[in-house]
């Protein structure tokens, strides 16, 4: 074997080792991204469920507190009315007693009975005043509880909003991870099949829209944006879905009007389509992993 042959054999061996290394790296990256995607999705669902439960619990606590306060206020109003009636009766009896004392023809028995009646009514007034004081104390305690429950409800609402924001962040992270995972999978598939990346031509400005119509027969898609947004024939747009978060591929604009555009999915040779594009899916000129 000549020196040139030995060199070629060594180059072939080195190239085989490099290709094997790339295959191992793609496999490890794909496995790690899939596990992270699943964990983030479970955390997002748990956060949404916790936020809903806390919002329902806060509403129940607020309703019960309002009902208790209304009941105590009604009892206090009734007691106040009874107390006013008793005080009026005592005043009438006192006036009557004074009038009886002024009369010299009234007997001692009548005066004694009137005094006993006045004394009995005064004792009843004292009892009602004690009840009024107890009800006032209960009302004060109930108002304090209502303020505490209102503060807890406000804190729960703030925590619920925080969980909603965290949930949105998790959804955004899921979307980014899904797109990155897809990019790695497409890179691996393109390397093994010997294909080349699709040529993309996104608009210069950041443009976003939605899929208004999807024709399964022709494969054409109608977008909600057109030349008025800066879109031109030959431009490419990225298509994705928010719920659940999923990257669906690249579209190429084939027809453009002022307010609408017609596009066709771009499929790379040797790579299966990612998913079926439906009405309501979103399009953008650039997204992470596009």
The pLDDT tens digits for 201-226 are 999 888 999 999 999 888 899 999 99
User: Who has greater pLDDT, 197 or 277?
Assistant: 277
CATH code: domain 38-191 is 1.10.287
The domain made up of 208-284 has a fold known as Thrombin, subunit H (2.40.10)
pLDDT grade, residue 289 (50/70/90)?
very low
Give the start-to-end residue ranges of the domains of the chain.
Answer: 38-191, 208-284
And the tokens for 275? 């998913």
Give 238's strand partners.
250, 284
> Distance (Å, rounded) from C-alpha 91 to C-alpha 198?
101
| Both structure tokens of 257 | 């009007």
Distance CA 188, CA 182 (A): 10
pLDDT in tens, 58-96: 888 888 888 988 888 888 889 888 888 988 988 998 888
- Of all residues in the chain, the percent with pLDDT exceeding 70 is 81
Answer with the residue of higher pLDDT: 150 or 175.
Answer: 150
Rounded to the nearest 5 percent, the helix, strand and coil shares of the chain are 65, 10, 20
Burial environment of residue 158 by CB neighbours within 10 A (0 to 12, 13 to 18, 19 or more): exposed
In a 13 Å sphere around the CA of 215, the CA atoms on its Cβ side amount to: 10
């Amino acid at each position: 074997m000549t020196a040139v042959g030995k060199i070629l054999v060594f180059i072939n061996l080195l190239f085989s080792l490099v290709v094997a290394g790339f295959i191992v790296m793609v496999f490890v990256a794909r496995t790690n991204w899939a596990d992270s995607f699943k964990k983030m999705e479970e955390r997002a669902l748990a956060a949404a469920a916790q936020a809903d439960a806390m919002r329902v619990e806060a509403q129940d606590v607020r309703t019960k507190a309002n009902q208790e306060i209304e009941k105590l206020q009604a009892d206090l109003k009734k007691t106040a009315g009874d107390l006013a009636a008793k005080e009026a009766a005592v005043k009438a009896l006192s006036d009557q007693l004074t009038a009886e004392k002024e009369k010299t023809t009234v007997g001692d028995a009548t005066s004694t009975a009137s005094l006993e009646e006045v004394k009995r009514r005064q004792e009843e007034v004292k009892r009602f005043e004690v009840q009024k004081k107890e009800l006032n104390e209960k009302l004060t305690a109930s108002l304090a509880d209502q303020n505490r429950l209102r503060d807890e409800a406000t804190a729960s609402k703030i925590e619920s909003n925080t969980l909603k924001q965290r949930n949105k962040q998790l959804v955004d992270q899921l979307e980014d991870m899904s797109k990155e995972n897809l990019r790695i999978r497409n890179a691996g598939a393109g390397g093994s099949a010997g294909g080349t990346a699709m040529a993309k031509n996104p608009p210069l400005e950041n443009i976003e829209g939605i899929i208004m119509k999807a024709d399964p027969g022709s494969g054409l898609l109608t977008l909600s944006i057109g030349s008025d947004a800066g879109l031109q024939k030959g431009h490419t747009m990225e298509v994705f879905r928010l719920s659940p978060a999923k990257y669906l591929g690249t579209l190429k604009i084939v027809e453009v009007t002022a307010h609408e555009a017609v596009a066709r999915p771009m499929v790379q040779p040797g790579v299966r389509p990612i998913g079926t594009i439906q009405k309501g899916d979103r399009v953008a000129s650039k997204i992470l992993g596009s």
